[in-house]
Chains A and B, each alone.
Chain A
Amino acid sequence: MQIESDDTMPLRTSDDVVRVRQAVRARAVAIGFSLVDQTKIVTAASEIARNTVDYGGGGEMRVEVLRNGQRRGVRLTFSDSGPGIRDIDQAMRDGFTTGNGLGLGLSGAKRLCNDFDIKSAPGSGTTVTIARWT
């Protein structure tokens, strides 16, 4: 597998979330994703990016464009050094239905991507990696 490009962007403010969306969209278009696939990865990125800003105390996103044989993909890694998630399984189950406004949206984002990985622990921050392929 080759890495065709690799960039990192800060994620501290709402404006950064907007920039992240634009950056992901640009790469998705360049790879040749269908409109629906573009929308899915940008939406997933927006969800995780907002989490990073709102609950992670801010962090950064790394965006890689990959090639694996015939297929090309976008891989996004969101990391923060915030409070971390105590119970990841629970967080993945809650989705938007907690009603208390948290709605981490992790499960939703997972459904929108081909690859999803999350590492987090209280006090150690959170790292979420998502990817979508042609």
Chain B
Amino acid sequence: MSDQENIVLRLIDRHGQRLLTDWLAYQRKDVRYAGTQREAETVELARRFLDHLRAGAQIAQFDDIETPEWRPIRELLEDLSRDRAIGGFSPTETATFIFSLKEPLFALLREELRDDTERLVRETSTTSRLIDRLGLYTIECYARTREEVIRRQQQELLELSTPVVQLWDGILALPLIGTLDSARTQIVMESLLQHIVDSGAEIAIIDITGVPTVDTLVAQHLIKTISAARLMGADCILSGIRPQIAQTIVHLGLDLNVVSKATMADALALALRRSGKAIGERKPPAAPES
């Protein structure tokens, strides 16, 4: 254990409380906490951070924070970043937790090493580098969490925009809204097939009223979806073909190999017929005997 670790250790041991207080004061300058609960949590986190820093300073190198000895501090920072990222704090506000430790720590170093400027410069530099590394680590964790959140939201949006409804026994409807790209097609297929399994439907009406354009790529995606449904024993009917789309399909020479109807109503009528069902008038109730 070299001199530099010794000094941080010594400072935390002797002036831990003051360091904590000053540090929290610096944090408060840049970050506004909504409510006292978060404020209390932060105090607790800061305290634990200093404990881990002290433990790390005892046994570890300052140059590499990826070593096992620094794991507790890394985990604390991961939790902090995750929490802040989800809580809507900015990257700066999150990283301030770490970087704001510099000033109070340097102040203590200046006091302690006031008679040894050369050593003061050295220690300040080493300590600064350590805090920089920890700060950057915090920012990376934060970024990762944000990406996760965005990805999850995208997924939820995709799923919400492809509902599958059961129109009748054995008849499903899949109204597609928006363009059909590869990612969307995967979700659509998985959703449709799962519904076929769950409901035992043998007919699926795919309505494309809400699909703005049908080009070769979109047609391929539709064909894939229809083929997949067929493999699960369900026949498809395409509905919602606008006149524009009909022209495009012919011009591009696309063969969708599926029965298509202009409206979902027509498609439903066909589906009912195929299922051996008919819709008839209700008989009026018999007149009471007088």
Contacts and interface: CB of A to CB of B under 8 A. Distances in A.
Interface of A: 36, 70
B186 A70 contact: no
Interface in B118-164: 144, 147
B190 A70 contact: no
A70 B147 CA distance: 10
B141 to A, nearest CB: 12
Nearest to B148: A70
B interface: dominant SS: helix
A36 B144 contact: no
B190 A36 contact: yes
Contacts of A70: 144, 147
4 contacts: A36-B186, A36-B190, A70-B144, A70-B147
A36 B190 CA distance: 9
A36 B183 CA distance: 13
A70 B186 CA distance: 22
B190 to A, nearest CB: 6
A39 to B, nearest CB: 11
A101 B190 CA distance: 31
A70 B151 CA distance: 12
A36 B186 CA distance: 9
Nearest to B190: A36
B224 to A, nearest CB: 11
B185 to A, nearest CB: 12
A55 B17 CA distance: 74
A44 to B, nearest CB: 16
Nearest to A69: B144
The 3 closest A-B pairs by CB, nearest first: A36-B190, A70-B144, A70-B147
Contacts of B147: 70
A119 to B, nearest CB: 27
Nearest to B186: A36
A36 B188 CA distance: 13
A133 to B, nearest CB: 14
B29 to A, nearest CB: 33
Nearest to B151: A70
Contacts of B186: 36
A125 B147 CA distance: 43
A39 B282 CA distance: 50
Contacts of A36: 186, 190
A1 B55 CA distance: 32
A7 B128 CA distance: 43
